[in-house]
Amino acid sequence: MKDFYFKALENIYRKLDEILLPAGIDCGKCCICCLNIREDTFTPLEIEYIYKNSSRKNREDFFYAIRENSICPFCDLTIGRCTIYNFRPLVCRRWGPFVNELYSYISASCVYAKKVHIFPPEKKEEVPFQKEFASLNKIYLENLREDEKNRIEKMRVLSEEEKDKKDIEDFERALKVSFHKAPILTLIGRAYNKLGNSELSAHYYTKAIEIDPFYDFVWYLKGLWSYNKKDFKRAEFELRKALEIYPENITVRAFLIMFYVGLWNYNAARKEIEYLKGIYPFILERYDFLKEL
């Protein structure tokens, strides 16, 4: 029975690839996205599909490896390549060309930085084959055997604190084998920040900046760090550094709008709004009150 769903899934992948691959860009050995996957990157159907096509034998270990890691378990960090490229999930196939606004931080170093299509959550069905994909996964879940449903529902999910601590351990190990030092140091800093250790968080952000002062994501996170410390002058400087590296970054500019509004600097906020309207008009729909500025 599952073969039916696998064939349908492969058909969606094939049709999506036919659209995206002709204009696709080789990511090279980047794999920065693979360092920070979300729990919902893989749907249950896709997990089963990858499991079928992988060499891993223990099903439970396989499922936990996907659910509990921020670093994709299928990324070979030593060479910066995906080990399941032909069977990778839909999110990975469309990442770059189509990115959900909620997870839209695209670094300036990304090969798709100038070509990315950001879409708001309420318009996700405009993404090619999204409706078909969502429908297939829904039907798959509805028709799972009870024991399989129970297995998925009973899978232990780490608490936020457990996840952050595990992330730090994983990132520290990755630091020894990966050449992406600045991104990994940045993610360690973010994990410490989530754990409430602002001193270590700032330490790792600073180390990342020392290694790669042109990595815009670390400047953005350092700006948020300074903002939370109420050091608004430094926060503005750091956020501006991120934009200096990547002016089209929607995430940073959207935050700057709220930053300036909070400081009653409406002129600066209007400038950011005008800039964003040119590259991402949905911003005014997201923050309706901005129309009054």
Annotated domain spans of the chain: 1-154
State the average pLDDT for the chain. Answer: 87
Residue 100: strand, helix, or coil: strand
Tell me the C-alpha distance between 41 and 95, whole Å: 11
Mean pLDDT of 60-64: 71
Do residues 72 and 30 touch, judged by C-beta distance below 8 A? no
Predicted confidence (pLDDT) at residue 276 exceeds the cutoff of 90: no
Q: Taking the CA of residue 140 as centre, how many other CA atoms within 13 Å lie in the half-sphere pointing to its CB?
A: 22
Residues 6+ apart with CB under 8 A from 11: none
**Predicted model pTM:** 0.87
Provide the 10 A C-beta neighbour count for residue 242: 27
Tell me the C-alpha distance between 274 and 49, whole Å: 45
Tell me the C-alpha distance between 197 and 194, whole Å: 7
pLDDT in tens, 75-115: 999 888 899 889 999 988 888 788 877 666 788 888 888 78
Residue 156: strand, helix, or coil: coil
Do residues 2 and 153 touch, judged by C-beta distance below 8 A? no
How do strand 98-100 and strand 117-119 relate by DSSP bridges? parallel
pLDDT at 252: 93
